[in-house]
Amino acid sequence: MAECIHGLEVPLCDLCYPKAVPEVIKPVRSSGPRVVRTPGVSTTRKSVNAAQQRIYHVTHISNLEGILDADAIVAGTTPTVDLSTALTRELRETTEASPGASVASHVSFYLSPAATLWEQLRDGALDETRWSDQARATTPADFVFLVSTVSQLGDSVVVTDGDAAGSLTRFASGDGVRPMLEKLYDTEAAKDAEALVPGSFPFSGIQLIGVANDRVRDRVRDLTPAKVAVYPPWFVPAE
């Protein structure tokens, strides 16, 4: 597939290929009698290829070397830069993602590059109950996106419709994963959702590393021959 100058596939880059602005059709005043039409309800559903949906694991660049040494993202390891508070860790350790397995024993991926938790991080990690002092000392450019697709997650993946440690969050596994992904696709709810992989996720399943600028790109390329793309929109704080 063709790539833009940022190293991303052409349909993905909003900088090089911005989405078209829909044409606004101005109403035409008519001198004739007014006719009121009742709009019909469309039953057409947009086709969704769940297996090719992108997933995103966001981590501090200082944690990348440990991931590369293990050749995998391993759940439960102590990161170099720990973003979570003790309370956050406890909630994820005491919430089951599957029978007998906690959320904390899974590797977590976002379903959107604009995930709610990532937005909180890049806006300063102000919630002291969730984010550590280390998290508040970071800047968005300190992070990297490890990007893959749902097809790489395997049959044991669990998909949530919200924060995996949330009391009202629903979990889907097995045959329920695809319907959940289709329901979440291209919705605001996808920003809160997670895809959870038990144990570990092999680094070979990472298809792209997204970074904020050339400096970080060069640093990452010193560590790995994996594909690296500079894509600033993912790292801009929300307004």
pLDDT digits (tens, 9 = 90+) for 68-117: 999 999 999 999 999 999 999 999 999 999 999 999 999 999 999 999 99
In a domain? residue 207: yes
Find tokens 């440690």 and name the residue.
Answer: 165
In a domain? residue 120: yes
Count of structural domains, the chain: 1
- Strand duo 143-149 + 208-211: pairing: antiparallel
In a domain? residue 4: no
Read off the pTM. 0.81
Domain boundaries, position 103: 52-235
Separation CA 213–CA 194 (nearest Å)? 26
Q: At what angle do helices 61-70 and 214-223 cross, to 10 degrees?
A: 20
In a domain? residue 6: no
In a domain? residue 169: yes
Separation CA 89–CA 58 (nearest Å)? 17
pLDDT tens digits for range 112-122: 999 999 999 99
Find tokens 């309800």 and name the residue.
Answer: 41
Q: What's the number of CA atoms in the CB half-sphere (13 Å) around residue 61?
A: 23
In a domain? residue 22: no
The reported pLDDT for the residue numbered 32 is 47
In a domain? residue 143: yes
The reported pLDDT for the residue numbered 48 is 75
The reported pLDDT for the residue numbered 15 is 57
The reported pLDDT for the residue numbered 51 is 85
In a domain? residue 25: no
Interval 157-162 mean pLDDT: 96
